[in-house]
Amino acid sequence: MHPGRRRPADARRARRREGPPVTGDLRLVGFEELSAGALLGRLLDRRAEFWSGSALDDDAVRALHDPVFFHQLGGFGAVALTPEGEDAGYLLGVVSADRLAVVHAVAVHPRRRGQGVAVRLVERFAGLAASVGARAAQAVALPVGVRFTAKVT
């Protein structure tokens, strides 16, 4: 989104305050701290919830969850957990050999949408990418995800 068309910061914060607060009640956990196989299975089992409203069909959603993102590239992925240990959202990302940080997928549980979960996941990813020398970051958005992408950038 063009910087001149952004909502004032206080309007963005006011919108995020709707629903349960995100700042204090979620814990972001890197994939490297979890069992990769168990996490992959858990997220795939709940994909219908996390990807509800998506333009992607089930086969495309399954394809996004390549095991390589959980095993070999897990250092850049993260899951947002509630105090009860429930998955609130997750991000799959990678930093390439030429130092390009790429957000591969972001999913947020419907009950947690609009509360800043994805923003926190993307901010964590950007920080990790910068710490390993990423020169740029990018994400691909489907036309139905453009509003969200504009909010995060």
d(CA 129, CA 98): 12
Hey, what are 128's tokens?
A: 């990790």
Q: How far is CA 62 from the centre of its chain?
A: 16
The tens-digit pLDDT sequence of the chain (153 residues) is 333 333 344 443 333 334 444 456 899 999 888 888 899 999 999 999 999 988 889 999 999 998 988 887 768 999 999 999 999 999 999 999 999 999 999 999 999 999 999 999 999 999 999 999 999 999 877 665 545 555 555
Those residues with Cβ within 8 angstroms of residue 106's Cβ, 6 or more apart along the chain or in another chain: 89, 90, 91, 92, 118, 121, 122, 139
Q: What are phi and psi of 76, to 5 degrees?
A: -105, -10
Helix (H, G, I), strand (E, B) or coil at 61: helix
Give me the pLDDT at residue 126, please: 94
Give me the pLDDT at residue 143, please: 65
Q: Which domains does the chain have, with CATH numbers?
A: 3-152 (3.40.630.30)
Helix (H, G, I), strand (E, B) or coil at 86: coil
Give me the pLDDT at residue 71, please: 82
d(CA 2, CA 119): 18
pTM, whole model, 2 decimals?
A: 0.77
The CB density around residue 127, as the number of other CB atoms within 10 Å, is 9
The CB density around residue 35, as the number of other CB atoms within 10 Å, is 11
